[in-house]
Structure 1
Amino acid sequence: MLHKIIFCVVLVVCSVKSINAQIYAEGTILSDESEFVCNRSGPQCADDCTTLMLCAAESMTPFANVSCAKSTPSLPYCVSNTCSSTPGNCSSALPFRCTSAGVFPDPNDCRRYRHCNESNAESTAYICPLGFVFNSKINLCEFTKSSHHSSKICNTVDCSRKTNEVAEYKPNRAFFSFCFVDSDGVRETIMFKCENEEYEIYDVSKNMCTFNCKKSGYYQDPSNCENYYVCSPSSGGFKAEKIPCPTGYYFDGTKCTKDSSKCIPGSLMEDSTEE
């Protein structure tokens, strides 16, 4: 593993790691979220949904800001990187809601992510260096070689055509969004994650988080070790069947037993003999 130290354009030292020719970095705390930050070269909308930023390459600070409301009163909103007469799907100016403790991708900006200490608390915002997007599967910023590569790692959530319903977060299905619209028509994209994000994914057909089989075998239920899952091949992937142990028994990775010593909430015991 190769470790390098570079200076970000915001004059903050960032640790950069090269793993198997892929470059990763840690984000830096965004102390002032009201500060306008560029993601790329060219015009782009700011988080206040009314300002059009003009951004130069390799700079996080816009060289000019255009107030849509002041410069073109008939086009007071900023939508799709231009001034517009309608507000569109702009919700990024609203405070991020922590729905549980942990690290969350920002649903409106692939360079940003959030640290939440607990539910209903304020989050700490982080931003990745230019050229990087947040990879929620490893909680690191990943250098993007192309827009196609970037979309596999991170996507913003489009709630423009959804009203009070769930939207998938395709780069990492352990996360999902709720497209909330209040009585005044104000839109907000609220991020959630499965309780056991390492082992579960959100199933839109069932409207709930389900166990994610990655290979055949027998697996302890990470939420309740009185149950276990049997994972078997199905339609090019795997399907999970949840099976309870008899009352007073616990699954130890191989069988149901009365020995509860291997019953560790949040862990994943598996039968390694099953391939």
Structure 2
Amino acid sequence: MCLESGPHCVQGDVEATCSDHPANECDAVERPWYITCPSVGVLPDPVHCDHYHNCSQRNSPSELFQCPPGYIFNTVTQTCRSRSVQKCAESPCQAANTVVPYGPSRMYYVLCVPRKESETVEQQLEPYIFRCPDRAPFNVTSQACEYRCVTQGNFADSLDSNSYFQCYRKDDGGFVALKKGCQKDGDGMVAKFNATVGECIP
């Protein structure tokens, strides 16, 4: 992954790496193909597998980048990899108003929304891409990101600093994870979760 203000793409035999020297292949491409960022981080483009989005702020337009020719975005490594070692992920939308996984990593999912106007069947569904928090892969059955606890305690939500996951042990020895939000202080400001102390701090 190479950002406009940072390192730049350099093609390799299998994987694109980063360099301090700019390359045309890593320039940000022109809009209007940006998305409204649902979270901070990097998101694959749900339509064009050789594109990806960098989101620096929630609910703001993304920066769209294109992999070098012959490369596609890898959802597991979050890098551009050669088409010779990886297949292009196809749009998973088959029915309107459904939530489906995207890519093999199970860290991304797509909301399939019907378009108001479309000419063909393929154009009738608009995919909106989302990312699950760290350690919370998408569950096809529940159609939700489910946090995986390995011990008891409070753990950060990697996509939201104002919330956290609380893990506690069940009678059968397994774990249950609950997502909780930090409370507002006297001034109406929402506290932020501190992973070091395991609690919300104003």
Pairwise TM-score range, normalised by the shorter structure = 0.5 to 0.7
Over the aligned positions, Cα root-mean-square deviation in angstroms equals 3.4
Aligned mates of 2:101, 2:164 — CA distance in 1 = 28
1:118 aligned to which of 50, 53, 57? 57
Partner of 1:256: none
Partner of 1:193: 131
1:209 aligned to which of 130, 142, 145? 145
Higher RCO structure, 1 or 2 (CA under 8 Å, sep 6+) = 2
Structure 1's unaligned 5+ residue stretches are 1-12, 35-93, 231-238, 245-259, 266-275
Aligned mates of 1:167, 1:262 — CA distance in 2 = 35
Query: Larger radius of gyration, structure 1 or 2?
Result: 1
1:181 aligned to which of 102, 114, 124? 114
**Cα gap change, 1:192 to 1:243, in 2 (>3 Å):** closer
Aligned mates of 2:165, 2:34 — CA distance in 1 = 40
Instruction: Give percent identity, aligned residues only.
Output: 22
Q: Where do 1:213-252 residues align within 5 Å?
A: 217-218=150-151, 220=153, 221-223=155-157, 227-228=166-167, 241-242=175-176
The answer on 1:28 being equivalent to 2:26 is: yes
Aligned mates of 2:128, 2:165 — CA distance in 1 = 33
After superposition, what is the alpha-carbon deviation per residue over 1:106-139, rounded to whole angstroms, capped at 9, x for unaligned? 1111111001122332111111112221122332
Aligned mates of 1:165, 1:125 — CA distance in 2 = 25
Partner of 1:91: none
1:104 aligned to which of 43, 47, 57? 43
TM-score (norm 1): 0.48
Aligned mates of 1:219, 1:135 — CA distance in 2 = 32
1:263 aligned to which of 176, 187, 198? 198
Give the number of equivalent residue pairs. 158
Shift of 1:263: 1.6
